[in-house]
């Protein structure tokens, strides 16, 4: 599943999230995120894709989020990411128990006006890694 039209991104600290969000979603319980989030300003078009694949005689979902920003992301902490689409749907990548890996690459600007900054790639593989949430 590829998320179309990402309109906003923010990050949250995993230790502030409610426990067992992925299991709650899989059991049909509505999931809400009430932890404070920090908005991320991004440049270009962010991409987010979730792929369901077999793993260890079961299924696991792998989610990759990539975007470009001028903000520094505090990668020394366990972070979760909140993605909002153009249709108003919110998705959470990361939980209190399963948090994503974050790869940060410094990039230079282009002559056409794209600012220098950071290329961020967020990856998570879990039973459910892209969780629809209410806000």
Residue 65: its pLDDT value, please?
Answer: 98
Whether residue 127 is contained in a domain is answered as no
Q: Residue 93's Cα: distance from chain center in Å?
A: 4
For the record, the structure tokens of 99 come out as 């948090």
* pTM of the predicted structure, to 2 decimals: 0.93
pLDDT tens string 40-92: 999 999 999 999 988 888 889 999 999 999 999 999 999 999 999 999 999 99
pLDDT in the model for residue 114: 78
The 10 Å Cβ neighbour count of residue 124 is 24
**Confidence grade of residue 117 (pLDDT, cut at 50, 70, 90):** very high
Task: Say if 131 falls within a structural domain.
Answer: no
Report the number of distinct structural domains present in the chain. Answer: 1
Number of Cβ within a 10 Å radius of residue 48 = 22
Average pLDDT, integer, range 14-39: 93
Mean pLDDT score of the chain, rounded to an integer? 93
Residue 82 lies inside a defined structural domain of this protein: yes
Q: By residue range, what is the domain housing residue 57?
A: 6-118
For residue 89, is it within any domain?
yes
The answer to whether position 124 is within a domain reads: no
Q: Is residue 125 part of a domain?
A: no
Q: Is 133 part of any domain? A: no
């Amino acid at each position: 599943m590829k998320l179309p039209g990402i309109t906003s991104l923010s990050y949250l600290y995993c230790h502030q999230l409610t426990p067992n969000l992925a299991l709650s979603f899989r059991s049909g319980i509505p999931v809400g995120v009430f932890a404070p989030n920090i908005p991320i300003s991004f440049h270009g078009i962010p991409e987010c894709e979730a792929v369901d694949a077999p793993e260890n005689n079961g299924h696991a979902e792998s989610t990759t989020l990539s975007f470009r920003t001028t903000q520094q992301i505090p990668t020394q902490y366990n972070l979760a990411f909140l993605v909002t689409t153009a249709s108003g749907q919110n998705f959470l990548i990361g939980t209190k128990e399963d948090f994503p890996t974050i790869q940060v690459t410094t990039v230079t600007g282009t002559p056409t006006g794209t600012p220098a900054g950071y290329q961020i790639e967020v990856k998570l593989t879990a039973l459910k890694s892209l969780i629809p949430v209410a806000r």
